[in-house]
Structures are given as structure tokens and as C-alpha cells.
Amino acid sequence: MSDTTNENESSNIQIHIPPDLEYLYRDISNVFVGPSDVVIEFGNLHRSAPGHASIANRVVLSIAGAYQLQHNLNKALSEAQQMMQKKSAT
């Protein structure tokens, strides 16, 4: 377990990550934004049928949740890029 503090909230959230958590690889994604929610679809390209793909997962977020995901993803990607630049500079 780990404590995570949301920058927008003053409370701590306890996060439990089960040991058998499933990891999924996805090649493609689609995003649809509606008036009250955001739908993100993830899927895979068909290796044996070029030009074809299948959607495997669909995640629905509130608008606020989508903005939080965007913030967290941008932050993580920025940190990863900085680490890669430091490694290549040495």
C-alpha cells in the first residue's frame, strides 16, 4: 500500500494494488468527449490482418477525472523525458 495525496485535495487516499494485477498491452486508442464524460477506448492492431484493429477496453471518466488523468500523464511523461535526457548526457 502507498499513500497518495491528490494535489487538488488535502486528504490522503490509501491505494491497494493487488499482487495479481493484470497488465495489458494496447497499440491504439480513441478518445470521445461528451458533455459530461470522456470515453477512452484501447485496442490492438491485428498482426495477421493489416489495416484492422479490435477495441478491447473502454474506460469512461468524468470531465474532471479526464483532466486529472491528463495532468498526471503529462507530469509522468515530462519526468521520463528528463530522465532519458540525463542518461544520454552521461
**What integer pLDDT is reported at residue 4 of this predicted model?**
44
Secondary structure of 21-74 in the HEC alphabet? CCCCCCCEEEEEECCCEEEEEEEEECCCCCCCEEEEEEEEEEHHHHHHHHHHHH
What pTM, to 2 d.p., does this model score? 0.71
pLDDT band at residue 90 under the 50/70/90 scheme: confident
* Average of per-residue pLDDT across 13-21: 92
**Which residue carries 532519458 as its cell?**
84
**pLDDT higher than threshold 90 for residue 67:** yes
**Which residue carries 509522468 as its cell?**
76
Question: Are the C-beta atoms of residues 78 and 70 closer than 8 Å to each other?
Answer: no
> Which phi and psi angles does 86 have, rounded to 5°?
-65, -40
